[in-house]
């Protein structure tokens, strides 16, 4: 029995229990090593209807879509139709944000690696028509600039919508048509959907959320975010196996399953080259052109995560080892599922080790945490950091705008404890029960 066969047998045995332990209704996992691929499914797509998850089920991939959008842009680079370092206004003269000086200088490269540095959590619904992304650009006119372009890493959903609009304008057709013509078709993705209208003809997962903290998971009442955010990951869904076909193209130097060129080797390499080093957050060690990059013991890994309304997806690939894993889920605590599965797959097949979870150091000296106290406001969340009588820090997030509309109850989550570790401008947030700690970077 090969190592891949052993992984497959382990998945089929372990996956149902792993989902139950983490309150995940359903999941599909696909793993490839070289030309071989295996997949496994467990659980249900919808806890109300009881429809079982199968390996052909579609799940939303969320922000993993950004890598597909970046690939569409790099195809234009290959064709000589896009210069990554030219101002966005070269292709979109109408591009405006509140800071006119910044708008004149922002480039496609900066959009792709999240250093355009204007506020990025803009999820305004501009309709379902083919002009929705074009209309979305008008929404950005009053969006503030947070830093000078290129100065800081600041994850930017809106920036990828702008990149998607560049693809539309240069190609002369709607974004979803570009996706289908230039990626779905040459890659032979038979189980991929650009929107709910395409997804409905497949066996498709529904997200699950807690209406109030600690409550039983329920199917979401909204399946997808606005179509205007499609290039950033608002609605693209596919089966795990098809997601791996996309990843394998990047592992194969841009060649599709039939041996045809989908992307040039030069563009594949460029996408995997670090463009910006990340702060101490749980999103890799650097960012390439679309890809998150992880410098891990045993080698480099590229990938991306995705989250939508009650659904989460994870994609990791090991260049040079021809190994990749895709995990798609529809609620609960998916990070634990990812950690166990990806940890074993990447170790046994790719020879790399996932980092352990960040944990508080009980021996760390106390730091003056007064500079962190305050209220931080964005268009989607109000975050309050407070200090109690014993000097402990607490973080409380209250969803606003569209993020509040995702649930029936607009209630804040239980506050997380914040622990200052021995690193400047860095905290650990979370709770020891269950053990879930995450780095928080403060600029």
Environment class of 409 (CB within 10 Å of its CB; exposed 0-12, middle 13-18, buried 19+): exposed
Rounded distance between C-alpha atoms, residue 250 and residue 263, angstroms: 8
- Give the residue among 109, 57, 120, 79 at the shortest CA–CA distance from 311: 57
- Give the residue among 417, 429, 383, 384 at the shortest CA–CA distance from 403: 383
Rounded distance between C-alpha atoms, residue 443 and residue 152, angstroms: 9
Active site residue 63: yes
Rounded distance between C-alpha atoms, residue 145 and residue 129, angstroms: 28
Rounded to the nearest 5 percent, the helix, strand and coil shares of the chain are 30, 25, 45
Q: Out of 2, 57, 63, 154, pick the active-site residue.
A: 63
- With b for 16 or more beta-carbon neighbours within 10 A and e for fewer, the 178-198 pattern comes to bbbebbbebbebebbbbbeeb
Rounded distance between C-alpha atoms, residue 48 and residue 216, angstroms: 12
User: Which residue is listed with tokens 């609620």?
Assistant: 331
Contact 255, 249 (CB under 8 A): yes
Q: CB within 8 A of 269, min separation 6: which ones?
A: none
Q: CB within 8 A of 57, min separation 6: which ones?
A: 26, 28, 41, 45, 202, 203, 204, 205, 239
Residues with catalytic function? 63
């Amino acid at each position: 029995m090969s190592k891949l066969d052993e992984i497959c047998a382990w998945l089929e045995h372990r996956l149902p229990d792993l989902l139950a332990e983490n309150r995940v209704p359903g999941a599909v996992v696909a793993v490839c090593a070289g030309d071989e691929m295996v997949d496994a499914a467990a659980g249900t797509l919808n806890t109300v209807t009881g429809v079982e998850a199968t390996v052909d089920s579609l799940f939303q991939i969320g922000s993993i879509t950004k890598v597909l959008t970046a690939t569409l842009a790099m195809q234009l680079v290959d064709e000589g139709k896009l210069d990554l370092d030219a101002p966005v206004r070269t292709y979109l003269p109408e591009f405006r944000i509140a800071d006119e000086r910044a708008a004149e200088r922002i480039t496609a490269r900066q959009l792709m690696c999240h250093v355009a540095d204007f506020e990025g959590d803009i999820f305004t619904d501009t309709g379902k028509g083919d002009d929705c992304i074009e209309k979305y650009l008008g929404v950005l006119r009053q969006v503030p600039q947070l830093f000078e372009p290129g100065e800081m890493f600041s994850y930017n959903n809106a920036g990828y919508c702008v990149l998607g609009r560049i693809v539309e304008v240069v190609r002369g057709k709607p974004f979803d048509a570009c996706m289908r013509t230039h990626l779905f078709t040459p890659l032979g993705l038979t189980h991929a959907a650009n929107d709910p209208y395409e997804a409905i003809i497949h066996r498709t997962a529904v997200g699950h959320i807690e209406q109030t903290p600690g409550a039983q998971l329920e199917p979401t009442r909204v399946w997808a975010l606005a179509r205007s955010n499609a290039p950033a990951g608002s609605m693209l869904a596919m089966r795990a196996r098809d997601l791996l076909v996309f990843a394998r193209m990047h592992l194969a130097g841009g060649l599709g399953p039939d041996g045809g060129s989908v992307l040039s080797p030069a563009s594949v390499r460029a996408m995997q080259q670090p463009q910006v080093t990340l702060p101490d957050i749980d999103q890799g060690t650097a960012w390439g052109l679309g890809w998150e990059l992880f410098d891990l013991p045993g080698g480099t890994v590229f990938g991306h995560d995705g989250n939508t309304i009650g659904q989460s997806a994870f994609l990791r690939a090991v260049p040079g080892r021809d190994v990749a894993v895709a995990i798609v889920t529809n609620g609960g605590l998916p990070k634990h599922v990812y950690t166990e599965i990806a940890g074993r797959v990447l170790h046994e097949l790719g020879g790399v080790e996932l980092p352990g979870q960040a944990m508080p150091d009980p021996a760390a000296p106390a730091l003056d945490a007064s500079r962190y106290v305050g209220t931080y406001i964005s268009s989607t969340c109000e975050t309050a950091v407070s200090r109690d009588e014993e000097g402990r820090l607490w973080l409380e997030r209250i969803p606003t705008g569209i993020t509040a509309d995702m649930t029936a109850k607009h209630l804040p989550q239980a506050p997380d404890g914040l622990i200052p570790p021995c690193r400047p401008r860095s905290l650990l947030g979370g709770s020891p029960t269950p053990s879930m700690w995450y780095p928080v970077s403060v600029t």
